[in-house]
Amino acid sequence: MSTIPGYTHGTSAVATSPVTLSDLEQMKASVLFGEEDARYLRMSHDVVKDQVEAILDVWYGFVGSQPHLLASFSGKTDGKPLADYLGGVRRRFGQWILDTARAEYDQKWLDYQHEIGLRHHRAKKNVTDGAPSTDLVPFRNLFALIFPVTFTLRPFLATKGHSADDVEKMHAAWLKSCLLQVTLWSHPYVKEGDF
């Protein structure tokens, strides 16, 4: 098991997702995610595994430059960024990059996606780190971040000499996976019965 604080993927600390594996298969079909995409995500693992910190630098630089995004990692009372909270989330975010690139869409992965969604929602936000931050990551910000995350990842995917076609397919697989994951993370935000 990982030594990253709060990283509980595959442990009994994570509840079973209310979304079934059958639901996930339908979602994958909706976003045109197939075995080829899983293969290209796995190809990307070797590309990104030694670039995780550089990728996070770009993503954190973007979030940090946008006050409305940084607010979700800031003190609830004074609005100042919480360095320890940002650091803890960063370590788990780095692991998320590697987990995404492994493309293991099993029950443990599905359960952890639900946990991630809860941690963005008022249901469990701040619990993992004991952070005195805002109560919620607004869903509008969460979903909109799919573009900057996937757009800024593309140059990193092109650093290991893969063909332009392979880079494009890795990038498309990442986009599809991010759409799937953020859709799963939306479950706590959606009115019961409407997911």
Please write the tens of the pLDDT for every residue from 23-48: 999 999 999 999 999 999 999 999 99
Highest CATH level, class, for 21-189: mainly alpha
Where residue 116 falls among pLDDT bands split at 50, 70, 90? Answer: very high
State the pLDDT at residue 107.
98
What is the arithmetic mean of pLDDT over 8-19?
97
Please write the tens of the pLDDT for every residue from 146-190: 999 999 999 999 999 999 999 999 999 999 999 999 999 999 999
Please write the tens of the pLDDT for every residue from 46-105: 999 999 999 999 999 999 999 999 999 999 999 999 999 999 999 999 999 999 999 999
Inform me whether the pLDDT recorded for 1 exceeds 80. Answer: no
State the pLDDT at residue 2.
59
What is the arithmetic mean of pLDDT over 101-116?
98
Domain definitions of the chain by residue range: 21-189
This prediction has a pTM of 0.96
CA–CA distance from 126 to each of 43, 82, 110, 134, 185 (Å)? 34, 11, 21, 8, 16
State the pLDDT at residue 4.
96
